[in-house]
Chain A
Amino acid sequence: MLLQDQLCSSLKSVFQPGRHGGKCFSARRARWLTPVVLALWEAEVIPGVNSKKNQMCFDWGPGEMLVCETSFSKKEKSEMVPSCPFIYIIRKDVDVYSQILRKLFNESHGIFLGLQRIDEELTGKSRKSQIAVAVGLRNDCRVSQGLLYPLVSILSAMELIWNLCEILFIEVAPAGHLLLHLLDWVRLHVCEVDSLSADVLGSENPSNHDSFWNLVTILVLQGRLDEARQMLSKEADASPASAGICRIMGDLMRTMPILSPGNTQTLTELELKWQHWHEECERYLQDSTFATNPHLESLLKIMLGDEAALLEQKELLSNWYHFLVTRLLYSNPTVKPIDLHYYAQSSLDLFLGGESSPEPLDNILLAAFEFDIHQVIKECSIALSNWWFVAHLTDLLDHCKLLQSHNLYFGSNMREFLLLEYASGLFAHPSLWQLGVDYFDYCPKLGRVSLELHIERIPLNTEQKALKVLRICEQRQMTEQVRSICKILAMKAVRNNRLGSALSWSIRAKDAAFATLVSDRFLRDYCERGCFSDLDLIDNLGPAMMLSDRLTFLGKYREFHHMYGEKRFADAASLLLSLMTSRIAPRSFWMTLLTDALPLLEQKQVIFSAEQTYELMQCLEDLTSRRPVRGESDIQQLQDEDIETTKVEMLRLALARNLARAIIREGSLEGS
């Protein structure tokens, strides 16, 4: 699985799992979530607008909205002068974070695509394990340095939720292993202990350090008993008086039975051993072995799963889910997934103790512990106010076939709904919109039509950008969008009198009518100035010439110029004639063509044959006989007609002379 390896290594390099550069998740962090939820339903306030007095008119733009005060009572003269002469342009402020989050968006985009492709390549078998690899979608908290606090909080909260969902929904760890995963989860997210440990061990006399017992307690709370034992040995070394009981405690810690990944013992065996160990701890408590050292006694109570003793360590536990995991570790290490929700709810209640009410993050985690996927997504959508997270989470769960298995009959709709929201949000951004394209691609129902609507609104301020947008549309056979974009650009070019550009865009749009129009402009300019612009383009039209008759004519007319320039007079003459006789040349241009014939008629050698000359004459007569007769005419018109008449006279003379020469030549040639 080459792809899998690639994905795996790229994930590892990009998302260093879990270490936040010292910044850790704490209870404090959950607090930001509250205002977010409220704000969603609270009004967004526009300063200066008096909502009490006024009504507002507005308009949507792509990603922005215009709002302006007005009064809708339609009287001709309003009595009041508008109180607020301002127009407001309102947009979601994506820019503030986009520099920081750009990387996150880009990386998750790559992983999203990887996940969709895994799905295409694999059929059922081992899909789940493959996908689990992709679950490395972790927040990269490198951004934490020098960052706004709320953003770090959001990212940390998202990572916390993500990791828990990974354990519960995707790993689907069985009893026993479940707790090991949960312990890892807590250690990952409550990581102040590392810096504290370094602090204590770095001091001259660790066991005398103010935080020594705090450190030992935290290690025990996190089930890091080996480390706790090492600490205790330092205490034993420092104070011989308590060395004995420290050793006993150390032994208890060492002998606590745990499920190790490689071990083959059954769950029943483990439970038996654990029961035995628990009773042993209980005996030490009864014997008051540790009565002389309150710290050690408190540790023993924790290891006995004593709720009161655990709750005394609220500060060190910092949050209820840590409390939950520690409580399970020392009271029910082989907890079954199905019982988790009961412990979660009671741990939350005990931890908060009625002093405060659960916050959105608490509810999200609780819903996860209840295996209520739908509730998790719902709560996240509201609380995080952030489609990035829910869109990717839901997509992953859907790929693991978890939405169906949880009877969410609307599961695929929900996945698509969230992906569409996320992608639409990206499209509001001046450059991130390109990521949005791929998300739309993987929304089977409304992805394509949403992409069509969004992409045609991308401002085409530069040619480069226009080509980028066109490429995206062309790759997806979005012919109408391609046509429309080319048409817009062609129109823009015509308006700015850039005829060459206009012509190439209308050829690309396959817009015959517009190509005709632009060709006419070219011909008109030629008539006025006597020369063509954009020769390169016209000379290299190739098959595109067939798009419209007028364009064909333009191309052919240029061919005539070439032939004339190369002194291929005979070819030039017959082409010129055929342009008129085949009716490809617009009648309005015939006089120009006939005038072009003049120098050919005046050449020393005869170029137009007698028959060709007759045809030319026919064309000229056609043209003059159909000329509209005007009633009144002003001086300018009279002058124009004068010039026209002179031209016709000259042509008739030239044609007659050529005819005479041609007849003589043809007669003598035939005779010879």
Chain B
Amino acid sequence: MFVARSIAADHKDLIHDVSFDFHGRRMATCSSDQSVKVWDKSESGDWHCTASWKTHSGSVWRVTWAHPEFGQVLASCSFDRTAAVWEEIVGESNDKLRGQSHWVKRTTLVDSRTSVTDVKFAPKHMGLMLATCSADGIVRIYEAPDVMNLSQWSLQHEISCKLSCSCISWNPSSSRAHSPMIAVGSDDSSPNAMAKVQIFEYNENTRKYAKAETLMTVTDPVHDIAFAPNLGRSFHILAIATKDVRIFTLKPVRKELTSSGGPTKFEIHIVAQFDNHNSQVWRVSWNITGTVLASSGDDGCVRLWKANYMDNWKCTGILKGNGSPVNGSSQQGNSNPSLGSNIPSLQNSLNGSSAGS
């Protein structure tokens, strides 16, 4: 049985992104109303908005949390051509009493000349780094060398993708066998634009990111992209949201077989492709162990995909609305409608629910 808890978001315009923190005890939302809100879960399980502030001078597309090893840090990116890093200041006693927390801007990253479409923190083993991508087709990688001083960010790399970028994903693998890697998707819809997914890999020798692969088969606009948690595999799994959901595996070709020094070459295979969303797919995201992929699309549903023990991918769940708007938006706090049919199911279906065939 699914239980949904609804929270009045109280944003004044469209919400573009929602984001859980690492432990799932906090969340952040961002909106076209140019603000970001932070929500905290109390011991009793209720959610309370503990901060809401204007972050940008345009729609805020994405908001994301840094790993808690770096403290309480958020990054946001916006139509206003900037990305920003925010840090929570442990409140003055007044704030604490009112249940509010205080966030300060640590830096504004102003290098882009166009809308910044995505922002992602790098895997924590790389230190405090973040990548942005923008409509001008450039991926920028920034680093805060001193994790206690978040006002100092240096632009480490600029990767030109030649296509308007819509989304980025870091490869989360912390294996020494894998160099840092970032996948970039493009939603460029001009007719001569070809392959929409490029993969860049860091080269220890040149200290630069170089293009390792282009997914030639993905030619339609790409809206989201996500590497799966690695689970100690030698290969990588990449999910792509385009006109359908696609899952690729990238198997590194053994180094000695490739020319030494150059970027890793990969054997790329498509392992699943689903057009159940009927039209465009907008978001893809893995659960924490990378065993379930969720996607959302034009059909207004979130669909869950899972591989069984024979690596066959299947749909294992759908979340969709009942089509009737909520009456009275004054509803504050938590309502607790119980969802769907009374399935007396013991397992957590968010971990996927079909083991069969």
Contact = CB atoms under 8 A, between A and B. Distances in A.
A96 interface: yes
Interface stretch (B11-19, B102-110, B198-206): B11-19
A85 B8 contact: yes
Nearest to A496: B90
B23 A457 contact: yes
A331 B345 CA distance: 40
B14 A66 contact: no
B132 to A, nearest CB: 15
A3 interface: no
Nearest to A82: B14
A87 B9 contact: yes
Given A42-B318, A45-B320, A460 B29 contact: no
Contacts of A541: none
A39 B344 contact: no
Contacts of A614: none
- A55, A446, A459, most chain B CB atoms within 10 A: A55
A388 B355 contact: no
B341 interface: yes
Given A61-B20, A87-B18, A425-B348, A43 B319 contact: yes
Given A93-B3, A428-B351, A85 B329 contact: yes
Contacts of A52: 300, 323
Contacts of B43: 461
B320 A51 contact: yes
Contacts of A414: 309
A504 to B, nearest CB: 17
Contact of B345 (A74, A90, A92): A92
B39 to A, nearest CB: 8
Given A44-B339, A385-B353, A454-B289, A495 B326 contact: no
Contacts of A76: 58-59, 79
A488 B72 CA distance: 10
Chain B interface, >50% SS class = loop
B356 A382 contact: yes
A370 interface: no
A388 B59 contact: no
B2 interface: yes
A50 B16 CA distance: 16
B343 A67 contact: no
A56 B296 contact: yes
Interface string A65-92: 1111111101011101111111111111
Interface string A413-425: 1101110111011
Nearest to A386: B346
B259 interface: no
B355 A387 contact: yes
Contact of A70 (B15, B315, B349): B15
A40 interface: yes
A495 B19 contact: no
Contact of A97 (B301, B323, B346): B346
Question: What range describes how many residues of A lie at the interface?
Answer: 35 or more
B7 interface: yes
B97 interface: no
A72 B88 CA distance: 29
B105 to A, nearest CB: 17
Nearest to A387: B347
B325 to A, nearest CB: 5
Nearest to A149: B344
B322 A49 contact: yes
Interface residues of B, number: 103
A92 B323 CA distance: 22
B291 interface: yes
B356 A35 contact: no
Nearest to A422: B347
Contacts of B340: 39, 42-45
Contact of A44 (B20, B47, B320): B320
B90 A495 contact: yes
Given A385-B353, A386-B347, A457 B22 contact: yes
Contacts of A64: 20, 24, 350
Interface in A402-434: 410, 413-414, 416-418, 420-422, 424-425, 428-429
A43 B301 contact: yes
A198 interface: no
Contacts of B318: 42-44
Interface string B148-160: 1000000000000
Contacts of B6: 48, 86-89
A403 B23 CA distance: 38
Given A40-B316, A57-B18, A101-B346, A46 B351 contact: no
Nearest to B87: A495
B229 interface: yes
A424 B346 CA distance: 12
Contacts of A270: none
- B14, B68, B316, most chain A CB atoms within 10 A: B14
Contact of A89 (B47, B287, B299): B47
A90 B2 contact: yes
Nearest to A409: B310
Contact of B124 (A59, A387, A484, A517): A484
Contact of A386 (B13, B345, B357): B345
A62 interface: yes
Given A54-B300, A154-B344, A495-B71, A89 B7 contact: yes
B298 interface: yes
A76 B78 CA distance: 10
Contact of A36 (B5, B115, B322, B343): B343
B285 interface: yes
Interface of A: 32, 35-36, 39-72, 74, 76-78, 80-94, 96-97, 101, 148, 150-151, 153-154, 377-379, 381-382, 385-388, 390, 410, 413-414, 416-418, 420-422, 424-425, 428-429, 446, 449-450, 453-454, 456-461, 480, 484, 487-488, 491-492, 495-497, 517
6 closest A-B pairs by beta carbon, nearest first, are A49-B321, A51-B300, A61-B24, A381-B355, A48-B326, A61-B20
17 contacts: A36-B343, A39-B341, A48-B322, A51-B299, A51-B322, A56-B296, A66-B18, A67-B18, A85-B9, A90-B2, A150-B344, A382-B355, A385-B345, A484-B69, A492-B71, A495-B72, A497-B90
Given A45-B320, A417-B355, 12 more contacts: A47-B339, A48-B325, A68-B29, A90-B350, A91-B2, A96-B1, A377-B355, A378-B357, A387-B347, A457-B288, A460-B23, A484-B124
